[in-house]
Amino acid sequence: MYIRFHESTKTFHLFNEHFSYIMCILENGHLGQIYCGKHIHDKKDFTYLVEKIPRAMASYVYEGDRTFSLAHLKQEYPVYGSTDYRHPAVEILQDNGSRISDFRYESHTISGGKPKLSGLPATYTESDEEAATLSIILKDPVTQIRLELLYTIFAFGSILTRSARFINEGEAPVHLLTAMSLSLDLPDKDYVWMQLSGAWSRERHIKNRPLEQGILAIDSMRGHSSHEHNPFMVLKRPSATENEGEVLGFSFVYSGNYRIQAEVDTHDTTRITVGIHPDCFDWKLDVGESFQTPEAVMVYSANGLNEMSQTFHRLYQKRLARGFWRDRPRPILNNNWEATYFDFTEDRLVEIASKAKECGVELFVLDDGWFGARSSDHAGLGDWYANKERLPQGISGLSRRIEALGMKFGLWFEPEMVNKDSDLYRAHPDWILQAPGRSNSHGRNQYVLDFSRKEVVDCIYQMMETILSQSRISYIKWDMNRSITECYSAALPSDRQGEVFHRYILGVYDLYDRLTTAFPEVLFESCASGGARFDPGILYYAPQGWASDDSDAVERLKIQYGTSLCYPISSIGSHVSVSPNHQVLRNTPLHTRANVAYFGTFGYELDLNSLTEEEISEVKEQIAFMKEYRELLQFGTFYRLKSPFEGNETVWMCVSDDKKTAIVGWYRVLSGVNLPYSRVQLQGLDPDVVYSNPMNGTVHYGDELMNVGLLTTDGTSGETPRDIRNYGDFQSRIYVLKAAEK
């Protein structure tokens, strides 16, 4: 990868073998956007691509010049009100009431590697050769605000990361009202916008619509990234598919309020902005203080959605997730929640764990209900010490009993919340987010602790650290079961209340950082009523997340398919649960529940003692299969082949790095009669390798499987099948394709 600055034309070119990003310094000192797309040759001058013509009703920067209007120029970090009427990347309220800014180029530096963002999660490098970073310094001559724009281009894939840092070098405080991490002006609107949206238990469904003049946006103002809209968006050309065509993906490495927006003007220029949601955001920047925006990641693909996703997967798996578990296959676990809910004893838990160990499970997880006075969701949150009536030996004793079985032990926490019926709340009623003189809203009978306050985070850390230090804990499930309301901190003055949402998330990151540093070999899994905070910011601390509280295999097809647009398979928490399912009451075959859950971290959300001997035998086979292939399933190259949003069948696959093994998952929701023949064209195989297919008893060259296809006809004709278990609704198959011996 290279970053070149051509002094004679004031042009920057960031590029690698796949991708080019070109910008320049405009006449007024602002940065202009020239090109973003497939790699092109470098040369000294691209400035002729900055198109300027007189337009009716435009306002112009210079007297006598009817061409230079910011309203009709593509820019890098635009401001509002100085001839540009579109939504800005930055808005700063000054002490005289003005909101006009004028950030002019001062200098730049080019360096190898990638700097850290203080207090924030971000992608990283392990050597200077992996990436190059351009830092551009701009300054407002009136306010003396210094603006540093960071651009990092990675050597692998078409990846560009962006963020902004503001430093007040003036003589008066200012208020940041808008501070986007990325702004990009594109020359046309010929794109389909794709987003991942839904609600509790149906997160990250794919929604498509064409761009048109006006504004299209997704956001969250809930204090977390939300079930409703994931902080990720794709622009694809209308003809683009999973395997062909031009695609741009935008992802925000942040877990709080955000907005991702496309504004198409009436001349069909498209402005993309990604950053902290400007509503309810007001950061007071005192003299000498700085503010760093979170990181935005953009990925370009000239070869369809799968290539874009694979680039995100590799980046987020290897250069966003960190630590001991980053590269390790995940342990197969059994969680007790849907097996017992709050109704358990220590002996009952050991009984469930013993059966799980017999089946080959490696990790037993105790979910909600182990602490304080917790026997329902009305009490106990905030009191992170064991309930000795349920657990006479405490967490320390239970964890040792589980380890004595030959298993690891995991524990559930919800550290950001408190019940009013708790010792913590009775001691510190002012520690929750609450507006003076207003009623306090609750969710699930709980209230949000004010994590913008260091003393609150310190208190929770001490309780969690004590449990972890005194017990044998290998895994933490970190939950967050409600959105933020009445966002007001008793610890901040009135002119800083607009900082609370962001300071809250910084407190969450701080607690995660302290715990993962103190206990580096503990595997953290994030959860927020399932998938309400499944975002890149949390992935930096917890390499996997509970994808959804809905564990139904059929619903999970859409959830996991949509999630894979951005997030690696190793990050997707996926379990086999009981049938009928507790969320939708659907009965699905045990093998289908496993066949979906394989493409994730894999585990069981049930009491295995409740299964028949025949089912237990099947579970043992499932666990043996996952242990054999989990490294491939979690870290192989993932391809989407057939979408659950477009038909009755879903197909996806993983391919090993050496391309000698591939695993294909085939799923059919509803049965039919006398169905057409069906086949699916595979991806990512070696065209010259012969693969054996035990499912069909055949062998195939890779080029045949990719061009002719894998036969998936299920053979139902209306006659009674010999083995009825393999027919009917909600069926699935796993095809394991291996390079045949020569």
> Residue 327 domain-assigned?
no
The CATH number of whichever domain residue 709 belongs to comes to: 2.60.40.1180
How many residues are there in the chain? 742
Helix-, strand-, coil-residue percentages of the chain, each rounded to 5: 20, 30, 45
Q: In this structure, is the dihedral angle defined by the CA atoms of residues 692, 693, 699 and 701, taken in order, positive or negative?
A: negative
Q: Bridge-partner residues for 75, per DSSP?
A: 32
The CATH number of whichever domain residue 525 belongs to comes to: 3.20.20.70
The answer to whether 417 and 480 are in contact (CB under 8 A) is yes
Task: Based on the fold, state whether residues 369 and 478 are members of the same structural domain.
Answer: yes
Residue-wise DSSP of 613-675: HHHHHHHHHHHHHHHHHHHHHHHSEEEEEE-TTTSSEEEEEEE-TTSSEEEEEEEESS--SSP
Task: Based on the fold, state whether residues 576 and 598 are members of the same structural domain.
Answer: yes
Q: Count Cβ neighbours within 10 Å for each residue of 34-61 and write b for 16 or more, e otherwise.
A: bbbbeeeeeeeebbeebeeeeeeebebb
> Residue 24 domain-assigned?
no
Beta strands in 113-173 (DSSP E): 131-139, 145-154, 159-168
Task: Based on the fold, state whether residues 604 and 729 are members of the same structural domain.
Answer: no
What does the alpha-carbon distance between residue 215 and residue 477 come to, in Å, rounded to a whole number? 38
Nearest Cα neighbor of 194 from 163, 158, 161, 230 is: 230
What's the pLDDT score for residue 727?
A: 77
Compute the average pLDDT of residues 467-477: 98
Alpha carbon 106 to its chain centroid, in Å, reads 35
What's the pLDDT score for residue 716?
A: 57
CB contact set of 65 (below 8 Å; sequence gap of 6+) = none
The answer to whether 524 and 195 are in contact (CB under 8 A) is no
Compute the average pLDDT of residues 706-726: 72
Task: Based on the fold, state whether residues 212 and 305 are members of the same structural domain.
Answer: yes
pLDDT digit string (tens) for 323-382? 999 999 999 999 999 999 999 999 999 999 999 999 999 999 999 999 999 999 999 999
Domain boundary among 319, 354, 377: 319
The more confidently predicted of residues 153 and 676 is: 153
What does the alpha-carbon distance between residue 66 and residue 85 come to, in Å, rounded to a whole number? 17
pLDDT above 90 for 28: yes
The answer to whether 181 and 160 are in contact (CB under 8 A) is no
Q: In what order do the strands lie in the sheet with 690-693?
A: 637-642, 649-655, 661-668, 731-739, 690-693, 698-701
pLDDT digit string (tens) for 225-260? 999 999 999 999 999 999 999 999 999 999 999 999
pLDDT above 90 for 673: no
The answer to whether 370 and 395 are in contact (CB under 8 A) is yes
pLDDT above 80 for 533: yes
The single-letter DSSP state of residue 449 is B
Range of the domain at 190: 80-319
pLDDT digit string (tens) for 273-286? 999 999 999 999 99
Domain boundary among 635, 663, 686: 635
The CATH number of whichever domain residue 209 belongs to comes to: 2.70.98.60
Task: Based on the fold, state whether residues 231 and 253 are members of the same structural domain.
Answer: yes
Residues above pLDDT 90, as percent of the chain: 95
Of the chain, the end-to-end C-alpha distance in Å amounts to 40
Task: Based on the fold, state whether residues 197 and 259 are members of the same structural domain.
Answer: yes
Task: Based on the fold, state whether residues 693 and 591 are members of the same structural domain.
Answer: no
The more confidently predicted of residues 676 and 397 is: 397
Total structural domains in the chain?
A: 3
Residue-wise DSSP of 584-611: T-----HHHHHHHHTSSS-EEES-GGGS
Q: Locate all alpha helices (DSSP H) within 428-479, ordered by sequence.
A: 454-470
Task: Based on the fold, state whether residues 126 and 157 are members of the same structural domain.
Answer: yes
> Residue 162 domain-assigned?
yes
> Residue 703 domain-assigned?
yes
What's the pLDDT score for residue 725?
A: 64
In the numeric block, which tokens belong to residue 457?
Answer: 């985070």
Task: Based on the fold, state whether residues 705 and 589 are members of the same structural domain.
Answer: no
> Residue 53 domain-assigned?
no
What's the pLDDT score for residue 721?
A: 52
Task: Based on the fold, state whether residues 362 and 214 are members of the same structural domain.
Answer: no
Domain boundary among 290, 319, 348: 319
What's the pLDDT score for residue 619?
A: 98
Q: Strand, helix or coil at 357? A: helix
Task: Based on the fold, state whether residues 603 and 690 are members of the same structural domain.
Answer: no
CB contact set of 309 (below 8 Å; sequence gap of 6+) = 249, 564, 565, 566, 638, 640
The answer to whether 559 and 319 are in contact (CB under 8 A) is no
Q: Bridge-partner residues for 339, per DSSP?
A: none
What does the alpha-carbon distance between residue 577 and residue 593 come to, in Å, rounded to a whole number? 7
Mean pLDDT is lowest, of 291-300, 452-461, 552-561, 717-726, for: 717-726
What's the pLDDT score for residue 724?
A: 59
What's the pLDDT score for residue 728?
A: 87
pLDDT digit string (tens) for 597-643? 999 999 999 999 999 999 999 999 999 999 999 999 999 999 999 99
Nearest Cα neighbor of 410 from 326, 343, 477 is: 477
Other C-beta atoms within 10 Å of 281: how many?
22
Residues involved in catalysis = 479, 549
The answer to whether 258 and 276 are in contact (CB under 8 A) is yes
Compute the average pLDDT of residues 637-660: 97
Other C-beta atoms within 10 Å of 724: how many?
8
Placement of tokens 């302290």 in the chain: 514
> Residue 240 domain-assigned?
yes
pLDDT band at residue 696 under the 50/70/90 scheme = confident
Compute the average pLDDT of residues 144-173: 97
pLDDT digit string (tens) for 186-229? 999 999 999 999 999 999 999 999 999 999 999 999 999 999 99
What's the pLDDT score for residue 713?
A: 87
> Residue 199 domain-assigned?
yes
Q: Bridge-partner residues for 214, per DSSP?
A: 264
What's the pLDDT score for residue 675?
A: 85
Mean pLDDT score of the chain:
96
Residues above pLDDT 70, as percent of the chain: 98
> Residue 430 domain-assigned?
no
What does the alpha-carbon distance between residue 26 and residue 83 come to, in Å, rounded to a whole number? 14
In the numeric block, which tokens belong to residue 325?
Answer: 């578990």
Q: Is 513 exposed, middle or buried (0-12, 13-18, 19+ CB in 10 A)?
A: middle
Task: Based on the fold, state whether residues 559 and 605 are members of the same structural domain.
Answer: yes
In the numeric block, which tokens belong to residue 315?
Answer: 């980046």
pLDDT band at residue 485 under the 50/70/90 scheme = very high
pLDDT band at residue 103 under the 50/70/90 scheme = very high
pLDDT band at residue 76 under the 50/70/90 scheme = very high
The more confidently predicted of residues 270 and 719 is: 270
What does the alpha-carbon distance between residue 677 and residue 695 come to, in Å, rounded to a whole number? 17
